[in-house]
Structure 1
């Protein structure tokens, strides 16, 4: 596992990012297929898109308050 992936996931977990977003980000980053349609959520899909792009700029939008 590369350090960027580990650091990004650790940071998201520490900052309280929505679990759905984190799971989506991980799947997108690792280029896993998306979940089946009935299990998709807005947070998951946003995370998936950012993970595909290796983008960590948007996860603050998904912090649980």
Structure 2
């Protein structure tokens, strides 16, 4: 099991990150194909880009108030 991935997801969930960002981050981290165009959101795309970069800090901008 990839503990870096697991710990990052748990941290984001506990912080209350936007679910769209989290789904994007997971997809980007795992190098899954991006969603189809009509289902893309700003949060998803930001998460996807952060996941591809293995950025563990970008989620802090997407925590729900």
**Normalised by the shorter chain, which TM-score bucket?**
over 0.9
How many residue pairs get matched? 65
- What per-residue deviation string (whole Å, max 9, x for no partner) do you get for residues 3-37 of structure 1? 00000000000000000000000000000000000
After TM superposition, the score normalised by the length of structure 2 is 0.97
1:54 lines up with 2:63 in the alignment: no
Question: Gaps (5+ residues) in structure 2?
Answer: none
Q: Cα RMSD (Å) of the superposition? A: 0.5
> Structure 1 runs of 4+ off > 4 angstroms?
none
